[in-house]
Amino acid sequence: MPMKALTGNEAMAEAMRQINPDVVAAYPITPATEVVQLFANFVADGRVDTEFVAVESEHSALSACIGAAAAGGRVMTSTSSQGLALMHEMLYIAAALRLPIVICGINRSLSAPINIHCDHSDTMGSRESGWMHIFAEESQEAYDSIFQAIKIAERAYLPMIVSTDGFIISHCMQRIDMLEDKEVQDFIGECKPHHSLLLTDKPYTVGPLSLQDYYFEHKRQEIEAMMQVAPIIDEVGKEFGDKFGRHYGLFEEYKLDDADNIIMAAGSAAGTAKVAVDEARDKGIKAGLLRIRVMRPFPYKQIQKVLKDKMIISVLDRSDSMSTMGGPLFIETRAALYDTETHPPICDYIYGLGGREIDVENILSVFEKGEIYKKKGVEKKLAFIGVRE
Amino acid sequence: MKETWKELPIGCIIEEGGTSRKFKTGDWRSERAIFSKEKCTNCLLCYIYCPDDSIIMKNDKVVGIDYDFCKGCGICAKICKAKAIEMKPER
């Protein structure tokens, strides 16, 4: 298999080229611009068969994607931050219409103040829209996950976002182990939509009114679809791993088994955290990392299983929920652990908003704080890393 | 309500087209358009202006109002030069 040095965005654009979707409708936004810009080149050079729709906003981009997917096409787009926010209305519609659209998302903070750098507030803000969501740690995983996303989405009939951390991953170069075009096509197979508007002998109605009499049933059905997703993600991750040697699941465990002092994180900071785990272990701390890969559906049962006997869990959240209870990863993990008998102590650290750096020392200090909390109990439920205080 | 969520087709769809014919939207109406055949000159302005295609035609002549879909907006009464359509409150 060929190796290439690519940025995260280039890797995602290459993945899109190899998928060769029927329709891509997109609007540029930093730091996701490159993905569709490169893809537009592939279209112009005749390297894909895709119908590329250059629209006037992200709202229109996802609207066009919804139309194309309802027509039975395999459809993709890419966006970031304000773009995803502008898609918000359409996100819910794509999910409820059960259209397996895939977004290459690049995580970027939301305005105001205006900022183009990474945090997770954009995709976290969409976590109740009915989209499945994978946080890729680095470019190889992003590249691999996009193929899986196509397959998962088309099996579950739900849309999916695969996201990387803006600039940190999207604009940094990494060696990517590429698949052959044919391997990709064999893996993703043929797109089999649940209905197609292009089959005029089998007309159907998309998006009709559904009031007190049936709306609830339609939503219940959508919730059920999401409940059935976790095994599909595992299954497709395993299929991918068996074929190409890189296995993926709902989350990644790094030295978790014998650890009692745990950090949980999503995205690129998990890479930094792995170095911190190693350094903490050199200091005698039984450190471990649980890296959330799939945020939607939230793998709460599996998390309960691996975290229930841990002595301290420190969650790193790259966005806040404004509930005053901490970030979304913390809140959901804590809720998951409520159903365990052990109720392991857990605390939250908000970090990296607007692209603020986080380094190994920062994460080491979380492990060190964890050692104190192990003995004395959690003193601070919610703390902030790297903010001027 | 007969079907549970398990029996419904996925994606909030209806597995046929043209289903708006089956959805009688006329019951939203608070005013009823009353058509007078005697006054009507068949200028067809009401037919052109009606936003809901609720003017019933037969042999190129207006014969009545389709109350299954007429929402009582009153545009036909307003546009009618012959005052052949009158709006009356629904009871």
Is residue B2 pLDDT above 70, yes or no? no
- Could you tell me the pLDDT band of residue A17, with boundaries at 50, 70 and 90? very high
**What would the CATH number be for the domain defined by A3-243?**
3.40.50.970
Q: What is the mean pLDDT of chain A?
A: 97
Which residues fall within 8 angstroms of residue A369, CB to CB, at 6 or more apart?
A314
pLDDT of the residue at B23: 84
- Asked whether residue B85 is assigned to any structural domain, the reply reads yes
Task: Tell me the mean pLDDT in the region B61-66.
Answer: 97
- Asked whether residue B34 is assigned to any structural domain, the reply reads yes
* Same CATH fold assignment for domains A3-243 and A251-385: yes
Q: What does the domain layout of chain A look like in residue ranges?
A: 3-243, 251-385
- Asked whether residue B12 is assigned to any structural domain, the reply reads no
Task: Give the closest-approach CA distance of B18 to chain A in angstroms.
Answer: 8
Best CA proximity match to A83, nearest among A133, A20, A30: A30
Is residue A1 pLDDT above 90, yes or no? no
- Could you tell me the pLDDT band of residue B22, with boundaries at 50, 70 and 90? confident
* Residue from B7, B8, B13 to probe the interface with A (highest A Cβ count within 10 Å): B13
Is residue A243 pLDDT above 90, yes or no? yes
Is residue A335 pLDDT above 80, yes or no? yes
Chain centroid offset of residue B2 CA: 28
- Asked whether residue B68 is assigned to any structural domain, the reply reads yes
Best CA proximity match to A116, nearest among A282, A354, A277, A373: A354
- Asked whether residue B21 is assigned to any structural domain, the reply reads no
**C-beta neighbour count of A257 within 10 angstroms:** 7
User: Which helix (H) or strand (E) is A351 found in, with range?
Assistant: strand A346-351
Task: Tell me the mean pLDDT in the region A358-386.
Answer: 98
The packing angle between helices A139-156 and A229-244, to 10°, is 130
User: Which helix (H) or strand (E) is A188 found in, with range?
Assistant: helix A181-188
Least confident of A72-86, A137-151, A196-210, B71-85: A196-210
Q: Is A221 on the interface with B (CB under 8 A)?
A: yes
Distance CA A163, CA A295 (A): 11
Test A221 with B8 for CB contact under 8 angstroms: yes
pLDDT of the residue at A259: 98
Residues in chain A within 8 Å Cβ distance of B16: 203-205
- Could you tell me the pLDDT band of residue B19, with boundaries at 50, 70 and 90? confident
Q: Residue B34: which CATH number?
A: 3.30.70.20
Using one digit for the tens of pLDDT, what is the confidence trace for A248-304?
999 999 999 999 999 999 999 999 999 999 999 999 999 999 999 999 999 999 999
Phi, psi of A45 (to 5 degrees): -85, 0
Q: What is the DSSP string of B28-49?
A: G-SEEEEE-TTT-----HHHHH
Q: What percent of chain B has pLDDT over 70?
A: 98
Identify the DSSP state of A154.
Answer: H
Question: Which is higher by pLDDT, A19 or B28?
Answer: A19
Distance CA A50, CA A27 (A): 16
- Asked whether residue B67 is assigned to any structural domain, the reply reads yes
Q: What is the extent of the structural domain holding B34?
A: 29-89
Which residues fall within 8 angstroms of residue A141, CB to CB, at 6 or more apart?
A248, A293
Nearest residue on chain A to B23, alpha-carbon basis: A209
pLDDT of the residue at B18: 87
Using one digit for the tens of pLDDT, what is the confidence trace for A85-130?
999 999 999 999 999 999 999 999 999 999 999 999 999 999 999 9
- Asked whether residue B6 is assigned to any structural domain, the reply reads no
- Could you tell me the pLDDT band of residue A56, with boundaries at 50, 70 and 90? very high
Is residue B1 pLDDT above 60, yes or no? no
Is domain A251-385 classified as CATH 3.40.50.300? no
Task: Give the closest-approach CA distance of A154 to chain B in angstroms.
Answer: 13
Q: Are A20 and A49 in contact (CB under 8 A)?
A: yes
Total of domains in chain B? 1
Is residue B30 pLDDT above 90, yes or no? yes
- Asked whether residue B3 is assigned to any structural domain, the reply reads no
